[in-house]
């Protein structure tokens, strides 16, 4: 049995359970507190379900994993959720089945620790510092020349990422993040426990400030197995909006110099090893800065979200979800021949505003667009919608395009067709 640790959401749990069963295993779920509807849904997904009070407590998770797997051999305890991935790996270590070092995952989930590890390894990184209070804005601005970016130290989904260009703006950004940090229900638990490490951090009051990088942004998934890094194809983030929301990806990048592609791959490999990731799948984001060159800006210690896994599977035959479950179990995942080894793109449509989702309109019309291969809706009526962070509501898989302009035209057409009906909160 493989035990999945769930802190929030159910869509990813369903996808993970399907991957576990495809590998011939039973799937148990250990979840944090649930509503009645969530309990019914999770019970229907899992072979067994156990609910705990705190899904970030490794000791509780280890005990619950023993309970949920009683009578079966426990192969792995795993989570692909940002809020539970470290605790699940630590629980596996407590149970003596830990194959993915929790310390590396913890360093990747702590953006300040990631920056420290990269700097210590001599890797390219922008100036960075912590800010603990708005009154520190002038001192921090002296250490990290403006313009800069301010963000939660262990946030996710571009939650409350602020661009600042003045000392007053930095102070205001600190106050905005501190005031609104707990407004997003699905992310609140990220900020309630102190981050351990060389520099203990309270993520509710301490944020990361780093110099603004200027250049094009790329991403890729990679597999780390016993200290060896396997890079999957490079992906161009051709459409990122002013909020840092990722609306469009294309692989392979259009007209990218092969030498630059190799440099990006080297930067990613070195950063992942410096942080200490092993026996896992990671999604790494890179900006090719005008001065620093390829610079890692984010190491997500899980496979890419949205429908990037589908893109990789079709283009390469590598199923990243199966790979990460296999690494957690210590059993190689089965690979297939590439099904569609041609340029592919994914597009994401984000809802605007805050409230409860009533309906999504226009999906059939989008599916009929000539270049759209697949439409995946990741939200359902009743879901809480906010534009404080990325909610990958509607995702499109696209092929047959000519260039990035063609992709932007497809995006504009899809954006006109899809309408999110939201009941304001």
For the domain that residue 242 is a member of, what is the CATH number?
A: 3.30.470.20
Residues 358, 421: one domain? yes
Query: Last residue of some domain: 185, 211, 237?
Result: 211
Residues 325, 292: one domain? yes
Residue 105 maps to a domain: no
Question: For residues 186 and 386, is the Cβ–Cβ distance under 8 A?
Answer: no
Residues 217, 188: one domain? no
Vertex 410 angle, CA 385 and 305, to 5°: 45
Residue 87 maps to a domain: yes
Residues 373, 415: one domain? yes
Residues 307, 354: one domain? no
- Residue numbers of the domain that contains 147: 127-211
Per-residue confidence (pLDDT) for residue 164, from 0 to 100 = 97
* Exposure class string for 320-356: b at 16+ Cβ within 10 A, else e: bbbbbbbbbbeeebeeeeeeeeebbbbbbbbbeeebe
Residues 253, 274: one domain? yes
Residues 217, 168: one domain? no
Residue 370 maps to a domain: yes
For the domain that residue 394 is a member of, what is the CATH number?
A: 3.90.1170.50
Residues 234, 203: one domain? no
Residues 220, 316: one domain? yes
Per-residue confidence (pLDDT) for residue 243, from 0 to 100 = 79
- Total of domains in the chain: 4
Per-residue confidence (pLDDT) for residue 186, from 0 to 100 = 81
Query: Last residue of some domain: 193, 211, 229?
Result: 211
Residue 183 maps to a domain: yes
Residue 146 maps to a domain: yes
Residue 258 maps to a domain: yes
For the domain that residue 38 is a member of, what is the CATH number?
A: 3.40.50.1000
Whole-model pTM: value is 0.91
Residue 270 maps to a domain: yes
Residues 86, 34: one domain? yes
Residue 103 maps to a domain: no
pLDDT per residue, tens digit, the chain (425 aa), is 999 999 988 888 999 999 999 999 999 999 999 999 999 999 999 999 999 999 999 999 999 999 999 999 999 999 999 999 999 999 999 999 999 999 999 999 999 999 999 999 999 999 999 999 999 999 999 999 999 999 999 998 888 999 999 999 999 999 999 999 998 888 888 898 888 877 899 999 999 999 999 999 999 999 999 999 999 999 999 998 887 789 999 999 998 999 999 999 999 999 999 999 999 999 999 999 999 999 999 999 899 988 999 999 999 999 999 999 999 999 999 999 999 999 999 999 999 888 999 999 999 999 999 999 999 998 889 888 887 788 889 999 999 999 999 999 999 999 999 999 999 87
Residues 192, 222: one domain? no
Residues 203, 230: one domain? no
């Amino acid at each position: 049995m493989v035990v999945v640790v769930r802190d929030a959401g159910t869509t990813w749990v369903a996808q993970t359970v399907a991957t576990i069963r495809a590998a011939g295993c039973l799937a148990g779920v250990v979840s944090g507190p649930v509503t009645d509807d969530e309990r019914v849904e999770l019970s229907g997904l899992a072979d067994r379900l156990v609910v705990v009070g705190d899904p970030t407590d490794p000791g509780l998770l280890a005990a619950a994993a023993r309970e949920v797997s009683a009578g079966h051999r426990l192969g792995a305890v795993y989570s692909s959720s940002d809020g539970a991935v470290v605790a699940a790996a630590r629980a596996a270590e407590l149970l003596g089945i830990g194959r993915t070092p929790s310390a590396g995952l913890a360093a990747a989930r702590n953006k300040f620790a990631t920056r420290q590890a990269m700097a210590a390894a001599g890797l390219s990184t922008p100036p960075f510092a912590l800010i603990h209070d708005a009154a520190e804005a002038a001192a921090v601005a002296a250490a990290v020349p403006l313009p800069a970016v301010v963000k939660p130290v262990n946030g996710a989904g571009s939650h409350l990422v602020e661009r600042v260009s003045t000392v007053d703006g930095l102070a205001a950004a600190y106050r905005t993040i501190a005031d609104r940090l707990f407004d997003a229900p699905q992310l609140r638990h990220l900020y309630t426990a102190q981050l351990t490490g060389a520099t203990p951090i309270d993520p509710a009051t301490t944020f990361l400030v780093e110099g603004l990088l200027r250049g094009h942004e790329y991403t890729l998934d990679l597999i780390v197995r016993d200290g060896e890094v396997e890079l999957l194809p490079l992906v161009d983030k051709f459409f990122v909006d002013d909020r840092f929301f990722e609306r469009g990806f294309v692989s392979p990048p259009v007209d990218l110099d092969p030498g630059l592609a190799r440099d990006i791959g080297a930067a990613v490999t070195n950063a992942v090893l410096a942080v200490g990731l092993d026996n896992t799948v990671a999604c790494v984001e890179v900006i090719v800065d005008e001065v620093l060159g390829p610079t890692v800006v984010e190491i997500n210690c899980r496979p890419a979200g949205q429908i990037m896994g589908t893109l990789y599977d079709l283009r390469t035959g590598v199923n990243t979800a199966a790979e990460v479950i296999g690494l957690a179990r210590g059993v190689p995942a089965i690979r297939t021949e590439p099904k569609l080894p041609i340029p592919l793109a994914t597009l994401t449509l984000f809802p605007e505003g805050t409230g409860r989702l009533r309906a999504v309109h226009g999906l059939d019309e989008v599916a009929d667009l000539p270049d759209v291969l697949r439409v995946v809706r990741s939200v359902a009526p009743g879901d809480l919608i906010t534009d404080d962070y990325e909610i990958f509501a509607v995702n499109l898989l696209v092929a047959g395009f000519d260039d990035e302009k063609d992709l932007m035209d497809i995006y504009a057409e899809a954006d006109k067709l899809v309408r999110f009906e939201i009941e304001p909160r």
